[in-house]
Amino acid sequence: MRTIVRHSGIAIALAVAGSGAYAEMQNDSGRAIFSGPLEAIHEELPGGRTYSRHVQVGSAETDNESSPFFNASIRCAATAVHSAGGDMIYEYAICEATRADGDQVFWMIYMEPPIPSTGFKFIGGTGAFHGMQGSVTSSEQIKTWPDGTAEFAWEITWEINQTD
């Protein structure tokens, strides 16, 4: 059974933002595997709410050599606050993908109930991805292991702002 990704610390996404002249829209799909959290901190807040912070790393797999996720490692740092009953109040994440050639893309994720009230905002890129803007069109969790390692299938659409 597949479930829609609900955890921003490990989602892969890019968002449309800005203006200017753009190259042709491109599409890609692939898989990503993230290890269990490298760092996980959980603190109790007043009223029984909880604060958590975690960092996860992984890798992306795609056959599209022009993709920002071709031979890329991914790192996401997320912070979340949950109610005393365990329901998410909000979660933020900042992620980066670094390709084997050194080019990078960066994005920010914001989630708040009701799901899927999720925002993805592209915040930068280097090399071939300078001026990149785009969005996730699909992200599904395929498998999760007991240690928190997870596999996802994803689809993205992007373009490069030629004037930035």
Higher pLDDT, 47 or 139: 47
Asked whether residue 20 is domain-assigned, the answer is no
Asked whether residue 94 is domain-assigned, the answer is yes
Flag whether pLDDT at 51 surpasses 50: yes
Asked whether residue 54 is domain-assigned, the answer is yes
Asked whether residue 28 is domain-assigned, the answer is no
The Cα–Cα gap between 134 and 124 comes to 11
Region 9-21: mean pLDDT is 40
* Domains of the chain: total: 1
Asked whether residue 67 is domain-assigned, the answer is yes
- How does pLDDT run across 69-88, given as a tens digit for each residue? 999 999 999 999 999 998 88
* pTM as predicted: 0.75
User: For residue 117, what are the domain limits?
Assistant: 3-14+34-154
3-state helix, strand and coil shares in percent for the chain, rounded to the nearest 5: 5, 55, 35
- How does pLDDT run across 122-158, given as a tens digit for each residue? 777 999 999 888 877 667 788 989 888 888 888 887 8
Q: What is the DSSP letter of 54?
A: E
Question: Which residue, 99, 104, 89, 74, is CA-closest to 9?
Answer: 74
Asked whether residue 159 is domain-assigned, the answer is no
Q: How far apart are the first and last CA of the chain?
A: 42
Q: Maximum CA pair distance of the chain?
A: 50
Region 39-63: mean pLDDT is 92
Q: Across all residues in the chain, what is the average pLDDT?
A: 79
Asked whether residue 160 is domain-assigned, the answer is no
Amino acid at 41: I
C-alpha distances out from residue 23 to 65, 130, 159, Å: 17, 12, 6
Residue with tokens 């599209």: 64
Asked whether residue 97 is domain-assigned, the answer is yes
Residue with tokens 């996404």: 13
